[in-house]
Structure 1
Amino acid sequence: MQSTATELFKDSQSYIYNWTFQWIKQLGLDNQGSHFVNSILLLLLVILFLIVIDYFTKRTLLLLTIKAIRRSTNRFDDLLIRNKTLKLTAHFVPILVAQYIMPIIFMGFPTWKENSNKVLDIATTVVSLLIIHSLLKSLRDMLRMKKSFADKPLESYLQVCQIILLFIGGTICFSILTGKSPWSFLLSLGAASAILMLVFKDTILGFVASIQVSANDSIRVGDWIEMPKYGADGTVKEINLNNVKVQNFDKTITTIPTHTLLSDSFKNYRGMQQSGGRRLKRAINIKISTIRFLENEEIERLKNIQILRPYIEERAKTIDQFNTEQQIDQSSPINGRKMTNLGMFRAYTLTYLRQNPNIHKTMPLMVRQLASTEHGVPVELYFFVNDIRWEYYEGIVSDVFDHLFAATKYFDLEIFENPASDDFRQVIQQQNLHDFADQRQ
């Protein structure tokens, strides 16, 4: 039964070709010319016919699938439409039709007929690979929706699959064109492996780096990284096979070769973001000449600072007990233990930070004095802000230092700063007034 249908189909092919051939031959062309014009005319008609079939196939397939997708709660089918998987699948219909029609067109040219079959086989291979690639893209988009895969370098894995598909497709197409086994093509690549290694060096390095970066979890999409060598300071937006895209805080994009993440150092702020606290390490330089011992009257006045009163009372009790036990001669201020305005300021600063609701209480917090320099005595504040958002962090830090800068004068301390032009003018004016007064006398 099947052989009978095949014979009928072949007879119909011969009938169509012979009918058009006889019609063209009546125009006065010879046999060779008539065959050529006949094949070209039939080819144009078939191409037009295949375009119409492709259009209606895609329309019909999309209408049917969209109705089914609307009833489905699965999101993967939505991704198939977005990545054009169904449209690519529809291309198989005109290819199958062409495989039956092509023998009609090139019936007078057996060599062309064989070549047309090769072209259709290559088209089938290409469409199949495009469908597989579309499915992989849909799978990537599906995994991105899952929290466990949101920060993984899925783009790198997709690009690796693309390279593998290109290699497989190239091998199959080479086999179709040459009529040789794919293994012969693979064996010929062995001799050119050194050249391929050189050409795809960056791709191979990027592939290895992507795997190691993912395995070691050293960088994820969404991490804030800093890599001064490449001018990168911002959020990782994409990790692919060849480079990492970083959106800097000025909204510019920096691309970093993926393999350099293994060979060069970079800073990842993920640990800070996950901890919930962002560190501040900054010093206030106190002018050394303003540091001195406090008198009893000054200590009593400082007790009016509410958060400092418990410290002063406890400290005064400890100092008085020590001086009494050691029988210190307190006629000279330098004898024994005394309170200083700088020590009082450090105690106030530490208490102020401990009571500040924006400071992280479970992380290190201290106020320490560093080695004096030509810029005075640095009083360093070391603490963590409990809001890691950049704009809020900067606002909290500014509020803290605004307060402390204003508080120094209550301890008779001065913050060191280099002389400005106004300082020199004031000195010169004072000197001129002094000289003028001397001249009048």
Structure 2
Amino acid sequence: MNTNEFAQILLTWIKSFLSWIGIPRDRLNELDEIIFLILIVAIAFAVGAVFHYLSVRFTRKVLKYKNISFLRSLIEYNALRKMSAVIPPLIISALLPFAFDYRSTWFTVSEKITWIYFFIALLFSVNAVLNSVGNVLMNKEQLQNRPMKGFIQIFQVIFSCIAIIAIISILINKSPLNLITGLGAFAAVLMLIFKDTILGFVAGVLLSENDMVHIGDWIEMPQNNVNGVVMDITLNVVKVQNFDNTIVTVPPYSLVSGSFINWRGMTESGGRRIMREYALKLDYIQPCTPEFLEKMKKFDADLADFITEKQKQAAEGKVANTDNPAGLVNGTIDTNVGLFRAYMTLYLKRHPFISKDLLLMVRTLAPTENGLPLQIYCFSANKNWPSYESIQAEIMEHFVSVLPEFGLYPFQNPTARDYVISGLIESGKDLSTVAGIPWHSVLPEEK
């Protein structure tokens, strides 16, 4: 049965019904049109509801036997309901000529309303399908680090513009091609209105092609108060959760036009760098005597083996080389600083949370007015921020606590308390009654 036959059957039923309820003949034609319009609208929406019901049931049955991510995404974004909303205006448009004369005002108004509704429904359904496609693509492992959400939004903007042009052309009864042609005169205005969208699109392409930033990356942009994890990348906004849980949004093109630090390289590497130093007082650096070396052998077993090996090398006239494991420790037995460097290197090598595969060394830097900087350079195997800070703190605390054992002291500007204690000591005050003296400043009396 074609559309014409179906419409004629409906008209016959309507006339029979109106005659049966006693409507005068002179009013039949007027009521025919109104009732016919109500019926085709009801039938159209009923067909749409049936289509939605059947499509949802079919989709759910398929998902019971096979997990298809696209179908599940269609259900999640309610895309099937929005797609079924496109059917009623198509049915109404096909049956309208049988309800009204095409020259009548009712026909013109109804047709315009129908097609406007069609394009609005089509816009919502296409956006829902695009969201479903974007959700599937973003969940794919090979595409997770691409700004797919931005590209989906670009397609949504393009289709929205097309739908708006079509709706305007229906309202003013002009061809869409005429409107598109006329848009050339407003190109400058459109460029101004959609400046952020255009810049966001270009920035999204550059960020994607150059692999500059991913969702989940920790980035820093001091000029924009950004220091945290990237949560979302869209066409117009990059959302970042800072370390203090505040949310900062910046336009994507600011990442391209400016500079930022991406910590992804650190997270993907084998460790997180530790680079800290203390400045040692120069007047406490001195050569190692045999007695001092013997004393330090009792301080640490690994250090004792190192000193013994170095003494053996010196006696045989050999120098440290890469073939000798003991020579790999960057330190000497010539000075207390060299011995301390050797001890700290051994300490780091046996530390359970320091990476053994990445660079590790203890070195001196250029002397300053505050003394000789002694720097630790290594990598924490644990890259979690709280754990990393704890490991770094533990190493530096151990560093400063064992310095006096090697006859070394860190530089520290004197304070008022230091001057008071110095005056008390010089005045002959009993040291046992003076609080605040460092534990290593007063040596125990020899028995």
- Assess same fold via TM > 0.5: yes
Are 2:285 and 1:296 aligned? no
Q: How far is 1:353 from its partner? A: 1.5
Q: How far is 1:97 from its partner? A: 4.5
For each residue in 1:270-296, what CA deviation from the matched residue of structure 2 results, as whole angstroms up to 9, or x when unmatched? 111111211111102222232223332
Structure 2: give runs of 5+ residues left out of the alignment: 318-331, 430-447
Are 2:161 and 1:167 aligned? yes
In 1: Cα distance, 2:192 partner to 2:3 partner: 54
CA gap of 1:338–1:383, structure 2 versus 1, over 3 A, is closer
In 2: Cα distance, 1:25 partner to 1:139 partner: 56
Contact 2:14 2:32 in 1 (8 A): no
In 1: Cα distance, 2:24 partner to 2:273 partner: 88
Contact 2:82 2:125 in 1 (8 A): yes
Q: How far is 1:266 from its partner? A: 0.4
Contact 1:21 1:35 in 2 (8 A): no
Matched to 2:395, the amino acid is V
Match of 1:5 in 2: 5
For each residue in 1:141-177, what CA deviation from the matched residue of structure 2 results, as whole angstroms up to 9, or x when unmatched? 1112211011110111011101111122122223333
Structure 1: give runs of 5+ residues left out of the alignment: 27-32, 323-336, 435-441
For each residue in 1:323-349, what CA deviation from the matched residue of structure 2 results, as whole angstroms up to 9, or x when unmatched? xxxxxxxxxxxxxx9822222111211
TM-score between the two structures when normalised by the length of structure 1:
0.82
Match of 1:217 in 2: 211
CA gap of 1:220–1:2, structure 2 versus 1, over 3 A, is closer
Matched to 2:388, the amino acid is Y
CA gap of 1:2–1:281, structure 2 versus 1, over 3 A, is closer
In 1: Cα distance, 2:126 partner to 2:398 partner: 63
Once the two structures are overlaid, the 10-residue window that deviates more, 279-288 or 338-347, is 338-347
User: 2:248 aligns to what SS in structure 1?
Assistant: strand
Matched to 1:156, the amino acid is G
Match of 2:362 in 1: 367
Match of 2:119 in 1: 125
User: 1:280 aligns to what SS in structure 2?
Assistant: strand
Are 2:206 and 1:206 aligned? no
Are 2:260 and 1:263 aligned? no
CA gap of 1:412–1:355, structure 2 versus 1, over 3 A, is same
Matched to 2:383, the amino acid is I
Contact 1:286 1:416 in 2 (8 A): yes
* Structure 1 runs (4+) greater than 4 angstroms displaced: 1-4, 16-26, 33-57, 100-109, 317-322, 431-434
In 1: Cα distance, 2:98 partner to 2:131 partner: 39
In 1: Cα distance, 2:243 partner to 2:187 partner: 43
Equivalent residue for 1:357, pick from 349, 352, 372: 352
Match of 1:397 in 2: 392
Are 2:220 and 1:226 aligned? yes
Equivalent residue for 2:179, pick from 174, 182, 185: 185
CA gap of 1:310–1:120, structure 2 versus 1, over 3 A, is same
CA gap of 1:130–1:295, structure 2 versus 1, over 3 A, is same
Once the two structures are overlaid, the 10-residue window that deviates more, 200-209 or 15-24, is 15-24
Match of 2:444 in 1: none
Match of 1:422 in 2: 417
How many percent identity over aligned positions?
33
Match of 1:79 in 2: 73
Contact 1:175 1:182 in 2 (8 A): yes
Contact 1:17 1:107 in 2 (8 A): no
User: 1:192 aligns to what SS in structure 2?
Assistant: helix
Match of 1:328 in 2: none
Matched to 1:161, the amino acid is F
- Counterpart mapping for 1:15-54 below 5 A: 15=15
TM-score between the two structures when normalised by the length of structure 2:
0.81
CA gap of 1:355–1:338, structure 2 versus 1, over 3 A, is closer
In 2: Cα distance, 1:394 partner to 1:19 partner: 90
In 2: Cα distance, 1:218 partner to 1:100 partner: 52
